[in-house]
């Protein structure tokens, strides 16, 4: 019998500390009064009005835990039934060990193996595709948990106006096995020429952390150079078309496509490019902000909760992250 991966349940977690754009303007204005205007410009161009922070003594695994628990509850299984945990993030608890191992212990998933996925905001679609491969090729596997978590706010200078884009959150999905798809296709694009544009450039092997690096702010996340404005407008449709070609379906058959939640105008432009009505996408960034690796699973869980994603729907998830990385998956919802 053929083995296909299918989504059995999803979950999300948003922390309780709201940081509105007004509060953010007050904070960055302490460093430079002119930055308040930049916050307003970011709001107009992105649609983001607020974001949510976890307590400052939390780590990424603490945010991931309640999202994982919610996904397990939705799937109707316990943590001890998990065979694997795949955790996608570029804001890990530590450089090493893997944050997925920390989550495994906190969750009580005593029989699960783990690994981290580090392709930034493309991590969740990459994780879903990886889980599908594991389930399809390992007859002994039954359940894989895929988590996307983001806590870049803690790695940023709070007076950096680019903190506008750093909200905390986590989303998760449990994948299991079915005799019919489920998982249909995957697609990936990368362009490492953008690796120096946006990131944390001190604290690892390229430049180990030092007093001088900390004082200079290089251990914080920094936007060094702006990405060309059309990179997502070009590559998101490319990913969707690759999914359709490889999955042997037509783009107009897609019932719901969820993109990285960074700019609402970008989503609208890409949906027009694909010839799909806005009713076939879902966005959450206005009230919840941008949450990197977590935003796609959070948006998916919210769309399911609202009844916008239903059994039998053809779903596409398309993520993009610094580096640059792009990843997508197409699935049929059970």
193 and 107 inside one domain = no
Domain that holds residue 299: 184-332
196 and 312 inside one domain = yes
| Strand, coil or helix: 267 | helix
- Report the alpha-carbon angle 194-150-97, nearest 5: 90
128 and 39 inside one domain = yes
33 and 161 inside one domain = yes
Q: Which residues on adjacent β-strands are paired with residue 189? A: 326
Distances from the Cα of 92 to the Cα of 66, 89, 176, angstroms: 16, 6, 26
Q: What CATH number is attached to the domain comprising 317?
A: 3.40.47.10
61 and 39 inside one domain = yes
What gap in Å lies between CA 94 and CA 101, rounded to an integer?
A: 11
55 and 99 inside one domain = yes
Pair 34, 159: CB distance under 8 Å: no
Q: pLDDT per position in the chain (334 positions), as tens? A: 689 999 999 999 999 999 999 999 998 888 888 888 999 999 999 999 999 999 999 999 999 999 999 999 999 999 999 999 999 999 999 999 999 999 999 999 999 999 999 999 999 999 999 999 999 999 999 999 999 999 999 999 988 999 999 999 999 999 999 998 899 999 999 999 999 999 999 999 999 999 999 999 999 999 999 999 799 999 999 999 999 999 999 999 999 999 999 999 999 999 999 999 999 999 999 999 999 999 999 999 999 999 999 999 999 999 999 999 999 999 999 9
Distances from the Cα of 171 to the Cα of 144, 196, 216, angstroms: 14, 28, 33
Distances from the Cα of 211 to the Cα of 93, 157, 159, 200, angstroms: 21, 16, 20, 15
31 and 141 inside one domain = yes
Pair 298, 304: CB distance under 8 Å: no
Residue 248 token pair: 């042997």
Q: Which residues on adjacent β-strands are paired with residue 4? A: 178
């Amino acid at each position: 019998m053929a083995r296909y991966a299918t989504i059995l349940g999803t979950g999300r977690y948003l922390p309780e500390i709201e940081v509105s754009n007004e509060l953010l303007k007050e904070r960055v204005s302490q460093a430079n009064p002119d930055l308040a205007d930049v916050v307003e410009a970011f709001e107009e161009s992105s649609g983001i009005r607020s974001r949510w922070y976890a307590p400052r003594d939390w780590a990424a695994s603490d945010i991931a835990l309640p999202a994982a628990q919610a996904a397990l509850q939705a799937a109707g299984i316990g943590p001890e039934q998990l065979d694997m945990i795949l955790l996608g993030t570029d804001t890990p608890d530590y450089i090493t060990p893997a944050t997925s191992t920390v989550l495994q212990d906190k969750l009580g998933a005593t029989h699960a193996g783990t690994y981290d996925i580090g392709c930034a905001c493309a991590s969740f679609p990459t994780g879903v595709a990886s889980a599908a491969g594991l389930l399809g090729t390992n007859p002994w596997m039954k359940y894989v948990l895929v988590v996307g978590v983001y806590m870049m706010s803690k790695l940023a200078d709070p007076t950096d106006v680019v903190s506008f884009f750093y909200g905390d959150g986590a989303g998760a999905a449990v994948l299991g096995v079915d005799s019919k798809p489920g998982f249909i296709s995957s697609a990936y694009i990368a362009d490492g020429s953008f690796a120096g544009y946006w990131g944390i450039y001190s604290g690892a092997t390229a430049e180990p952390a030092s007093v001088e690096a900390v004082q200079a702010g290089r251990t914080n996340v920094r936007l060094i150079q702006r990405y060309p404005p059309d990179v997502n407008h070009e590559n998101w449709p490319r990913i969707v078309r690759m999914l359709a070609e490889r999955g042997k379906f037509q783009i107009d058959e897609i019932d719901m496509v969820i993109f990285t939640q960074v700019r609402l105008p970008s989503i609208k432009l890409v949906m027009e490019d694909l010839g799909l009505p806005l009713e076939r996408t879902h966005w959450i960034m206005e009230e919840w902000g941008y949450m990197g690796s977590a935003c796609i699973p959070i948006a998916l869980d919210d769309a399911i909760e609202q009844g916008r994603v239903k059994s039998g729907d053809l779903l596409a998830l398309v993520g993009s992250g610094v580096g640059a990385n792009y990843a997508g998956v197409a699935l049929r919802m059970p």
